[in-house]
Amino acid sequence: AALTELAEKSDLLTYEFENVDQDVLARVQKRTGVLVPQGVKLLTVTSNRINEKNFLRTHGLPTTDFAKVASPAELKVAVKELGFPAILKTVSGGYDGHGQWDINSEQDVKNLLEKWPKNLLAILEKRVDFVKEISVMVSRDNCDQVKLWPITENQHKNH
């Protein structure tokens, strides 16, 4: 309802983050006719960590090793394949440490299995040592003018 109200008062809608309900956005766009320059299809890739990793690999970009995890049994198999350390993340919705579990040992696996979240669809990612993480934002207008925004460094504490 809030998105419909916003769309009715706007010439166009854009989004910055991937945690936008693409089905709702598509329905609101169809119902109100509001322009969504980025489209909705992009969210199919960016809102799902498995889709995102597969998209990157398909386009020749490296990713950490990963495995889909939809059950405790699948977690056990994935941990055997990827090893420690790893991070289990929700496939969608989690952000900045929310919906993430560090997997550094068999004890971590055991603890998680004892409190397995209901209906969890997740991705286990091999942990990557890195020096820094940056964000790069690029935009393009309707005249195909591209703008690169200042590169920023992301600083994390406890995820």
Comparing 78 with 117, which gets the higher pLDDT? 78
Give yes or no for a contact between 84 and 65, defined as CB atoms under 8 angstroms apart: no
- Give the CA count within 13 Å in the CB-facing half-sphere of 24: 11
99 — pLDDT class (breaks 50, 70, 90) = confident
- Predicted local distance difference test score (pLDDT) of residue 21: 87
β-pair type (86-90, 100-103):
antiparallel
Cα separation, 56 vs 64, in Å, equals: 11
User: Band of the pLDDT at 159, cuts 50, 70, 90?
Assistant: low
Question: Would you give the DSSP letter of residue 54?
Answer: H
Q: pLDDT (tens digit, 9 = 90+) per residue, 36-81?
A: 988 888 888 989 999 999 999 999 999 999 999 999 999 999 999 9
What 9-13 contacts at long range (C-beta under 8 Å, 24+ apart), as own/partner pairs, is: 10/34, 11/35, 12/36, 12/37
| Mean of all residue pLDDT scores within the chain | 92
Query: Is residue 22 within 8 Å of 44, Cβ to Cβ?
Result: yes
For the segment 22-46, the average pLDDT, to the nearest whole number, is 91
| Domains along the chain with CATH numbers | 1-47 (no CATH), 64-126 (3.30.1490.20)
Q: What is the mean pLDDT of residues 100-120?
A: 95
Q: Give the whole-angstrom CA distance, residue 155 versus residue 152.
A: 10
pLDDT > 90 fraction of the chain, expressed in percent and rounded: 72
> Rounded to 5, what percent of the chain is helix, strand, coil?
35, 20, 45
* pLDDT value of position 140: 83
pTM of the predicted structure, to 2 decimals: 0.83
pLDDT score for 18: 83
pLDDT above 70 for 20: yes
